[in-house]
């Protein structure tokens, strides 16, 4: 059955979910970190480290889910290191983020050298498209459980930030560290906790890359998803549910090039691949302004100053 251009639409929608899932986890992690008033540019390194850890643990233990958890823990360690360094006076969180990005990727390449060839067990997928006869639709509706978990995390994170004492503390620390200190809140500890938890989510996002899609471990696995997350969170106005929609949008944009290739449009392959970066830049240009602060921004955040 020839479905022509509908094939492109279906492939983009399927790609939105498949490519968008790691974006979702990284942006939720970054969202939580930024809510506490820190920016973590090192999530790119965390993502690669998570991908390597997840793949290695899955290979040795035979359980991809154990790999996912260990990837999260590795991310948590890197996040804690980042925020611990930043808690010293005059240490710049953006610069430490760049260093963590280089350190995390270097460490992952070092430890991951033996895992480039062997094949680890893959995360299972859930078949939501069994009712359909169209193979493209079936492929697009093969959804990984991590995507569903990501939706739950997004809802839960939004609810907790809004309605729990813990969420209120994180927001106070992010809005004004002076006010938080006056209330007797342990500012540094809350930030370290938030960044470590954000690192945990980013690590899981990394394990999705190596254990589900594209399902391998190589040095070119991540291509800036961790960095784009920073801009994604700005676009999502620091709201976890908005992170979900924005991640899907970015996943769809990244899937556009390969989808067009399937109907024979092969020119400009690299340009299509650059669409997510161009979109991210365009969003920053549109949403930022020198005359007003952004709606919903945590005021301690250096990125918007």
Partner 1 sequence: MPQNLNKALEPFLIIVGSLTVSMVLFGMFVAAAGADPIEVYQTMYRAAFGTSFSWQNTLIRAAPLMLTALCTALPGYLGLIIIGGEGAVVMGGLFAAIAALTMPAAPPMVVLTTMALVGMVAGGVWLTIGGVLRHYRAVNETISSLLLNYIAIALLNHLVTSTFRDPESLNHPSTHHIGEANMIGVIPGTDLHWGLVFGIVACVIAWFLMHHTVFGFASQIAGGNVRAAQIAGLPVGRLILIICFVAGAAGGLAGMVEVAAIHGRANDTLNANYGYAGILVAFVARNNPLAIIPVAVLLGGIRASSGLLQRAHELPDATVLVMQGIIFLVILFSETLYGRFSRLQKQGVS
Residues lying near partner 1 in the complex (CB under 8 A): 41, 81, 85, 88-92, 94-96, 98-100, 102-107, 109-110, 113, 223-224, 227-228, 230-231, 267-271, 273-274, 277-278, 280-281, 284-285, 288-290, 303-304
Record the tokens describing residue 127, joined without a space.
């078949």
Rounded least distance, CB 123 to partner 1, Å: 26
Q: Are 7 and 138 in contact (CB under 8 A)?
A: no
Beta bridge partners of 143: 126
Instruction: Give SS3 for 99.
Output: helix
User: Could you give the CA distance from residue 214 to residue 226 in angstroms, rounded to a whole number?
Assistant: 16
User: Could you give the CA distance from residue 207 to residue 89 in angstroms, rounded to a whole number?
Assistant: 34
Rounded least distance, CB 194 to partner 1, Å: 20
Q: Which is nearer to partner 1, 136 or 259 (CB)?
A: 259
Rounded least distance, CB 136 to partner 1, Å: 27
User: Could you give the CA distance from residue 39 to residue 166 in angstroms, rounded to a whole number?
Assistant: 19
Beta bridge partners of 125: 144
Rounded least distance, CB 102 to partner 1, Å: 5
As to burial, measured by CB atoms within 10 angstroms (0-12 exposed, 13-18 middle, 19+ buried), residue 143 is middle
Q: Which is nearer to partner 1, 80 or 85 (CB)?
A: 85
Rounded least distance, CB 284 to partner 1, Å: 5
Rounded least distance, CB 293 to partner 1, Å: 9
Q: Which is nearer to partner 1, 59 or 140 (CB)?
A: 59
Q: Which is nearer to partner 1, 2 or 90 (CB)?
A: 90
Q: Are 29 and 74 in contact (CB under 8 A)?
A: no
Q: Which is nearer to partner 1, 90 or 130 (CB)?
A: 90
Q: Which residues, 6+ apart, have CB-to-CB distance to 269 below 8 Å?
A: 257, 261
Q: Are 71 and 207 in contact (CB under 8 A)?
A: yes
Q: List the end-to-end C-alpha distance of the chain, in Å, as a whole number.
A: 55
Rounded least distance, CB 244 to partner 1, Å: 21
Q: Which is nearer to partner 1, 87 or 125 (CB)?
A: 87
Number of other CB atoms surrounding residue 62 within 10 Å: 11
Residue 142, phi then psi, degrees to nearest 5: -75, 105
Q: Which is nearer to partner 1, 104 or 251 (CB)?
A: 104
């Amino acid at each position: 059955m020839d479905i022509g251009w509908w094939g492109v639409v279906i492939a983009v929608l399927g790609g939105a979910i498949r490519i968008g899932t790691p974006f979702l986890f990284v942006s939720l992690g970054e969202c939580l970190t930024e809510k506490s008033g820190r920016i973590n540019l090192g999530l790119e390194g965390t993502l690669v480290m998570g991908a390597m850890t997840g793949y290695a643990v899955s290979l040795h233990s035979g359980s991809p889910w154990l790999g996912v958890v260990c990837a999260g823990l590795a991310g948590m360690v890197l996040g804690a290191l980042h925020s611990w360094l930043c808690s010293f006076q005059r240490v710049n969180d953006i610069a430490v983020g760049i260093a963590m990005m280089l350190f995390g990727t270097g460490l992952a390449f070092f430890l991951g050298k033996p895992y480039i060839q062997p094949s680890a067990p893959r995360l299972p997928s859930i078949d939501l498209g069994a009712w359909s006869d169209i193979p493209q639709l079936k492929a697009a509706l093969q959804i990984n459980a991590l995507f569903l978990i990501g939706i739950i995390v997004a809802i839960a994170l939004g609810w907790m930030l809004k309605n729990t004492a813990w969420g209120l503390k994180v927001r106070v620390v992010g809005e004004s560290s002076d006010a938080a200190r006056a209330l007797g809140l342990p500012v540094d500890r809350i930030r370290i906790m938030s960044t470590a938890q954000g690192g945990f989510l980013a690590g899981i996002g990394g394990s999705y890359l190596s254990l589900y899609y594209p399902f391998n471990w190589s040095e070119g696995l991540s291509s800036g998803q961790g960095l784009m997350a920073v801009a994604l969170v700005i676009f999502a106005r620091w709201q976890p549910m908005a992170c979900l929609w924005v991640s899907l949008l970015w996943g769809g944009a990244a899937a556009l090039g390969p989808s067009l290739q399937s109907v024979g449009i092969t020119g400009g392959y690299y340009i299509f691949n650059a669409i997510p970066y161009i979109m991210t830049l365009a969003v920053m240009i549109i949403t930022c302004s020198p005359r007003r602060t952004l709606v919903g921004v945590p005021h301690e955040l250096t990125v918007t100053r």
